Amino acid sequence: MPVPDYQAVMRPWLELASDGEDHVLQEVIAALGDRFELTPDERAELLPSGFQAKFTNRVAWAATHLTRASALTRVARGRYRITDRGRALLASDQPITIAQLSAYPEYQEFKSRGKVTGAAVSVLDDVTPAEAIDVAIQSVRSAVSTELLDRIKAAPPEFFERLVVDLLLAMGYGGSRRDAGEAVGKSGDGGIDGVIKEDRLGLDAVYIQAKRWEGPVGRPAVQQFSGSLDLHKATKGVLITTSSFTADARDYVKSIGKRIILIDGFHLADLLMDNEVGVVTEATYRLVRVDPGFFEPG
């Protein structure tokens, strides 16, 4: 099943705590994962930022809301206990929602702290604040990705080949821009667009083919590239396209002895953004949290 949103987690959270015992957050995460019958992959699914599991984030955020509404009390670091208010909420036999919690003065005060210069920072019903930030960032990245690919497709083929080499250099591959540039478009066999050193000592070489195909790239094109590597007695290559690769093409590279990496248009755009090639950073935001250990007795 899909990972439940944090509101759906709140009632099961209180039900688990209804025994009156103290409950450690990590144990609650595991128990609620069982309650929702989440698979290992669903439990391990990360937020887009890649820094935390989505389910872990939602269980922790549910605990924050329940604590702010005095339905749970935090008795120690990462340890919670149900309150009389929490028991009263369970007695209603209804799903527990933000709307219900908003009836309590403590929770209203908590929400009011999000108001800045008269504009309320809304609490989203289905996602946590960290997820909301991730969603916004991914939306921007998606728009930039589309624009990058549009510009690459509109540029001359030689520009695309140079761009690929610049990207690989930015990713830490060895050699210099001049060394790589001499190889671009000069291999003479029609199957290699560039060669770049795998490390700065030049112990191995990575052969590059960069093509702006319009439709999906199939197995025959990948096989042709693999044959070109054989001509150079090479075992490593990167095949990059602005479009996509068919499942048959991806299956083929898994079945051969050579190491060929396939990079489609969206993966290429992600690499360009991550390595700041063809893009500039417009703004940087820091997401902080309280460090509980800082406040504990030394």
CB 273 within 8 A of CB 295: no
Helix, strand, or coil here: 82?
strand
The CA-to-CA distance between both ends of the chain, in Å, stands at: 43
- Residues 6+ positions from 137 with CB-CB distance below 8 Å: 48, 49
Give CA–CA dist 159/252, Å, rounded: 29
DSSP 8-state code for residue 5:
P
Domain of residue 228 covers: 145-274
Q: Does residue 106 belong to any structural domain of this protein?
A: yes
For residue 67, the domain's CATH number is 1.10.10.10
DSSP 8-state code for residue 88:
H
**55 plus 163 within the same structural domain:** no
Q: State the pTM of this model.
A: 0.61
Q: Does residue 80 belong to any structural domain of this protein?
A: yes
Give CA–CA dist 213/264, Å, rounded: 10
For residue 197, the domain's CATH number is 3.40.1350.10
pLDDT in tens, the chain (298 residues): 789 999 999 999 999 999 999 999 999 999 999 999 999 999 999 887 777 888 998 998 899 889 989 999 988 878 899 999 999 999 988 889 999 999 998 888 777 765 433 333 344 455 677 777 776 787 678 778 888 988 898 888 888 888 888 898 888 887 666 665 444 444 444 567 778 777 666 677 888 888 888 889 999 999 999 998 988 888 899 999 999 999 999 999 999 988 999 999 989 999 999 999 999 987 777 777 777 677 766 5
What pLDDT is recorded for position 187? 43
Q: Is the torsion defined by CA of 55, 273, 212, 240 positive or negative?
A: negative
Helix H or strand E encompassing 75: strand 72-76
Give CA–CA dist 30/251, Å, rounded: 36
Closest residue by Cα to residue 107 from 76, 71, 73: 71
**32 plus 111 within the same structural domain:** yes
